[in-house]
């Protein structure tokens, strides 16, 4: 489709999570015109995944991520910036600092801030896409009532997998935890409780091969990775917690990424091309927190202000 519009801003922010919102807030604070492009129908990013209490964000606690997000949105709503929701980006040209949308609209900027965040890693097995919201659940905290009296399978070996095993075991008939490796990444405070829980069965060195069912999930096929044996077990619900990965595929080959796909940045949040910045979880694999996302957004905006006003 041919370009319909070409609008220029001081800063175009790709992503409307906390890092992107913080960048926009500070752009307004510094008198920079800014545009946020967000592919989802609402702002908030990964914060909307958080269903547990938040007690470690300085200055404010929240009963869940959405409550904290609403507080951010109330504050950011008083600021001046442009916003486009539910947009699909067709192409980003880091060298020219141009973003082309699928509808042909083109935006140009003096600086681009990438705040695309992360997503939960998938198993990539048969049935995984088919049974989303039909047995594959989003969160132990959010979906605890829906698994009452049911057989639950949890995939993963970190804190999230073990913590959810404890949460779901309160209502479920049984919980089976499956992990590809022999050892776990989870903290001892979680592993010891789960290992000793009467409702929980653990399979190590085991992988999910297939998810099956009718209207909803009914069973999974498991493979023992040490001896190759397979087994099929009945389950009613599945929770997948095998880590996360950054939403950075479109920058591979143009920006420097680390071995896991996270954008490499310096202490000023600058990426490998001049005028391109990356903030939040997509550029911060070691400290993906609300605090660091907000701080990186502020840093990028202040550095951009300094560079544009030299």
Whether the pLDDT of residue 265 is over 90: the answer is yes
Q: What average pLDDT score do residues 248-276 get?
A: 96
| Model pTM score | 0.90
Q: What average pLDDT score do residues 201-225 get?
A: 97
Q: What average pLDDT score do residues 3-14 get?
A: 80
Which domains, from first to last, does the chain contain?
6-120+244-308 (3.50.50.60), 140-240 (3.50.50.60)
Q: How far is CA 193 from CA 100, 144, 145, 162, 217, in A?
A: 51, 18, 21, 9, 27
At 310 the pLDDT is 65
Q: What average pLDDT score do residues 242-255 get?
A: 94
The percentage of the chain sitting over the pLDDT mark of 90, rounded to a whole number, equals: 92
At 5 the pLDDT is 52
At 2 the pLDDT is 38
At 117 the pLDDT is 97
Whether the pLDDT of residue 3 is over 50: the answer is no
In SS3 terms, the chain reads as: CCCCCEEEEEEEEECCEHHHHHHHHHHHHCCCCEEEEECCCCCEHHHHHCCCCECCCCCCCECCHHHHHHHHHHHHCCCCCEEEECCCEEEEECCCCEEEECCCCEEEEEEEEECCCEEECCCCCECCCCCECCCECCCHHHHHHHHCCCEEEEECCCHHHHHHHHHHHCCCCEEEEECCCCCCCCCHHHHHHHHCCCCEEEECCEEEEEEEECCCEEEEEEEECCCCCEEEEECCEEEECCCEEECCHHHECCECECCCCCECCCCCCECCCCCEEECHHHHCCCCCCHHHHHHHHHHHHHHHHHHHCC
Whether the pLDDT of residue 281 is over 50: the answer is yes
At 309 the pLDDT is 84
At 6 the pLDDT is 60
Q: What average pLDDT score do residues 235-241 get?
A: 97
Q: How confident is the model at residue 202 (pLDDT cuts 50, 70, 90)?
A: very high
At 1 the pLDDT is 33
**Average pLDDT score over the chain:** 94
> 127-152 pLDDT, tens per residue?
999 999 899 999 998 898 999 999 99
> 69-125 pLDDT, tens per residue?
999 999 999 999 999 999 999 999 999 999 999 999 999 999 999 999 999 999 999
The percentage of the chain sitting over the pLDDT mark of 70, rounded to a whole number, equals: 98
> 146-200 pLDDT, tens per residue?
999 999 999 999 999 999 999 999 999 999 999 999 999 999 999 999 999 999 9
At 7 the pLDDT is 78
């Amino acid at each position: 489709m041919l370009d319909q519009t070409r609008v220029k801003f001081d800063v175009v922010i790709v992503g409307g999570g906390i890092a992107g919102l913080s960048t926009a807030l500070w752009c307004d604070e510094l008198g920079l015109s800014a545009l946020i492009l967000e592919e989802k129908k609402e702002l908030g990013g990964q914060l909307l995944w958080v269903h547990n209490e938040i007690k470690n964000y300085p200055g404010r606690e929240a009963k869940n991520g959405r409550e904290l997000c609403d507080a951010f949105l109330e504050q950011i709503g008083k600021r001046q910036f442009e916003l486009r929701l539910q947009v699909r980006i067709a192409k980003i040209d880091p060298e020219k600092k141009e973003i082309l949308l699928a509808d042909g609209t083109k935006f140009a900027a003096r600086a681009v801030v990438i705040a695309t965040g992360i997503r939960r890693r998938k198993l990539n097995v048969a049935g995984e896409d088919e049974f989303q919201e039909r047995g594959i659940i989003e969160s132990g905290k959010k979906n605890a009532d829906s698994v009452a009296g049911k057989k639950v399978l949890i995939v993963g070996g970190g804190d999230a997998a073990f913590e959810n095993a404890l949460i779901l075991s309160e209502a479920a008939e049984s919980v089976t935890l499956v992990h590809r490796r022999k050892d776990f990444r989870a903290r001892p405070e979680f592993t010891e409780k789960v290992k000793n829980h009467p409702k929980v069965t653990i399979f190590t060195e085991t992988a999910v091969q297939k998810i099956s069912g009718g209207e909803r999930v009914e069973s999974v096929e498991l493979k023992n990775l040490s001896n190759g044996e397979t087994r099929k077990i009945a389950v009613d619900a599945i929770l997948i917690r095998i880590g996360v990965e950054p939403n950075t595929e479109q920058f591979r080959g143009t920006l420097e990424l680390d071995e896991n796909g996270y954008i490499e940045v310096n202490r000023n949040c600058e990426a490998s091309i001049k005028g391109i910045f990356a903030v939040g979880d997509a550029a911060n694999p070691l400290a993906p927190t609300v605090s660091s996302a907000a701080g990186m957004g502020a840093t990028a905006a202040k550095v951009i202000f300094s560079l544009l006003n030299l």
